[in-house]
Structure 1
Amino acid sequence: MKGQISDTGIIIPRVPERLRLGENDPYDPQIISFGPYHHGKPRLQDMEKYKWRYLEAILYRNTENPLERYITMMKDQETKIRSWYPHYFDISSEKFVEMMLLDSCFVVEYLLRCHQDFPDELSTILCMHNLIRYDILLLENQIPFFILNKIFELLSVTTSPPMDAHSSPLTDLAISYLNHATEQKVKLPPPEPVHHLLHLYHSFCLYTPKAEGESVTLDISAPVPYKGIPSATVLREAGIKFMRKEVAGSSLDVTFSNGKMEIPLLPVNAHTKPRLRNLVIFEQFYPNFRSDKSFSAYVEFINCLVTTPEDVALLYKEGIIHTCYGNKYAAGLLNQLNRGTAVKSKHYLTPLYLEVNKYRQNRKHKWRASLILSTFTFISLTTSDEEEGR
């Protein structure tokens, strides 16, 4: 079995049925495959011709390195690459090397063209870049980042000054692509090391500049509160106000203070479920994932907050949810985000849960005290009136 299991413990898994729950759309590529899991599917064949064209473009960028150099490098790395894909796939060594070379070269050339804003045939096809972005960030469609790096090293090209002294040029190129694709501007300290593009995207989505170096401190000895909080409409009845939070970084940065809950914008569209489900499932399989902030905790929070169409209507009115869907459909979609997944009992939103429930209890006690006082006052006044009448 030696050489058949990743020595780093990092794998690119298939999404198991217990997490698919009968659904394929959020996990299967729409137009292009990368890696072995969806290779050769008939509906993805139209993009194969572009992989050959991008390979030709890669060879043209540095004519000193012929195709044979790339093939030899890929053969040398074949065993290591295969160890990253734990599920069996029947493909010969020759076909595997060809597949990984074409897929890796396409990704590297695509990142270069996006960075250089280089127009080509793909740019003329409506929504093509959105579809590629969808597929390039699916868990089952990942390529080990180390092999992308080796392709990039053979190119010997320079792009721009590195964003970070410790990052690689290809990492900077990928961050540039994420900035462009998501219309954000994030100078992200990359994770060490980057395992694949979804891993980098995960770090990109969690990053908040102003929170750099900060961490959530939880009292480990404190009892764990009951899991979650009530829905948005129930919290509103308890006097809690909702506000849209404008953030420079992570959309997961939810806060609660003095009866006000601030939540960053949550777009609910065709990409919401695939995006969040792939990020959550990545966390489920990432070994020793230690960050308190996680998408697993965030989707649990959303699942608590949105249980009915009325919850969607409330958050839509406050500018927190943006969607063209009906309230019922949007509520059903958001309810499915954490199905089958697990989350640590203590995470970055645990202090928020504690504060929200404490606030509700205080409001309940004040309401009871006010009711008792009002009742006592009413009885006293009634008694006084009766005595005066006598």
Structure 2
Amino acid sequence: MMASHTTLEEKFDELQKAEETPQISAPKIQKVSEYLRNRKEFKKYYLPRLVSIGPIHHGNANLKLGEKYKLMWAAQYIKNTRRIAQDLHKKIVDKIDELKGLFAEDVLTATKESLKGFSSLDEKLSWILFIDGCSLLYFLAAMNADDNAEEILIIKLDQLSVVMTDVLLLENQLPYLVLKLSWKNDNETGLNEIMENFVEFNLWGTA
């Protein structure tokens, strides 16, 4: 009888605690919820087909071609902006604790599962964010240029269309801080413009 009485007390304690208003945590980059992942028709909203951006789909064997494109675009971005690669990477490294706080814990755990070529999670994540940030900025700038984007990016038109979709996917996102740290100067106006123009083009424009 005593055990049953204690259990009821615990249940009433749990009920009372449920009255407390839960703290709302800051939004983080995370995987799509399982109930949505199980919908086959929903995959097009979160699963990249050519280019991974950020850690969630990094290392996917089906996206190896995209890794080559990203490396090429990142190198070209650094050259065009006359920056030193090591300096840009260090800006990410110096903010890595803050940047890790912008990702869900399970994303960081999955990223740490394979450290091939890296000595730690911090080293791997900083490299992913560095390359993906520079390559994404080069891609966005190319999409805002007057010339043909496919010629600037050295990519086929049909592949370009796929990348344009990949950039907007739910699990293919970077923290704004990464782009800010990698931007060519301290003026964020130009950065915000190329981002807004890209989104507007995808919503209302035609390729």
Task: Determine the structure 1 residue equivalent to 2:196.
Answer: 175
Would the alpha carbon gap of residues 124 and 105 (structure 1) be closer, same or farther in structure 2, given more than 3 Å must change? closer
Q: Report matched runs for 1:1-390 at 5 Å.
A: 9-23=26-40, 25-26=43-44, 27-63=46-82, 65-86=83-104, 87=106, 88-89=109-110, 90=112, 91=115, 92=120, 93-119=122-148, 120=151, 122=153, 124-152=155-183, 155-156=184-185, 168-184=189-205
User: For residues 174 and 134 of structure 2, what CA distance do their matches in structure 1 show?
Assistant: 11
Contact 1:122 1:128 in 2 (8 A): no
Q: CA offsets, 1:97-135, max 9 Å, x none?
A: 111111111111111111113442646513222211211
User: For residues 175 and 163 of structure 2, what CA distance do their matches in structure 1 show?
Assistant: 18
User: For residues 157 and 179 of structure 2, what CA distance do their matches in structure 1 show?
Assistant: 27
Contact 1:71 1:97 in 2 (8 A): yes
Deviation at 1:37, TM superposition (A): 0.7
User: For residues 170 and 125 of structure 1, what CA distance do their matches in structure 2 show?
Assistant: 25
User: For residues 48 and 55 of structure 1, what CA distance do their matches in structure 2 show?
Assistant: 10
Q: Identify, as 1 or 2, the structure richer in strand.
A: 1
**Count of matched residue pairs:** 168
User: For residues 189 and 61 of structure 2, what CA distance do their matches in structure 1 show?
Assistant: 36
User: For residues 171 and 98 of structure 2, what CA distance do their matches in structure 1 show?
Assistant: 17
Contact 2:28 2:103 in 1 (8 A): yes
Task: Determine the structure 1 residue equivalent to 2:10.
Answer: none
User: For residues 180 and 78 of structure 2, what CA distance do their matches in structure 1 show?
Assistant: 16
SS in structure 2 opposite 1:139? coil
Q: CA offsets, 1:292-327, max 9 Å, x none?
A: xxxxxxxxxxxxxxxxxxxxxxxxxxxxxxxxxxxx
User: For residues 194 and 124 of structure 2, what CA distance do their matches in structure 1 show?
Assistant: 28
User: For residues 151 and 33 of structure 1, what CA distance do their matches in structure 2 show?
Assistant: 18
Moved over 6 A (4+): none
Q: CA offsets, 1:139-194, max 9 Å, x none?
A: 11100012111211xx1398xxxxxxxx732111111112333344xxxxxxxxxx
**TM-score under structure 1 length normalisation:** 0.40
User: For residues 144 and 157 of structure 2, what CA distance do their matches in structure 1 show?
Assistant: 19
Q: CA offsets, 1:225-254, max 9 Å, x none?
A: xxxxxxxxxxxxxxxxxxxxxxxxxxxxxx
Contact 2:53 2:172 in 1 (8 A): yes
Higher relative contact order (CA 8 A, sep 6+): 2
User: For residues 124 and 67 of structure 1, what CA distance do their matches in structure 2 show?
Assistant: 23
User: For residues 123 and 57 of structure 1, what CA distance do their matches in structure 2 show?
Assistant: 11
- The gaps in structure 2 that reach 5 residues or longer are 1-23
Q: Identify, as 1 or 2, the structure richer in helix.
A: 2
Would the alpha carbon gap of residues 45 and 121 (structure 1) be closer, same or farther in structure 2, given more than 3 Å must change? farther
Would the alpha carbon gap of residues 123 and 72 (structure 1) be closer, same or farther in structure 2, given more than 3 Å must change? closer
The structure with the larger Rg is 1
Amino acid at match of 1:136: V
User: For residues 11 and 55 of structure 1, what CA distance do their matches in structure 2 show?
Assistant: 25
Give the % identical residues: 23
User: For residues 174 and 151 of structure 1, what CA distance do their matches in structure 2 show?
Assistant: 14
Deviation at 1:36, TM superposition (A): 0.8
Amino acid at match of 2:43: D
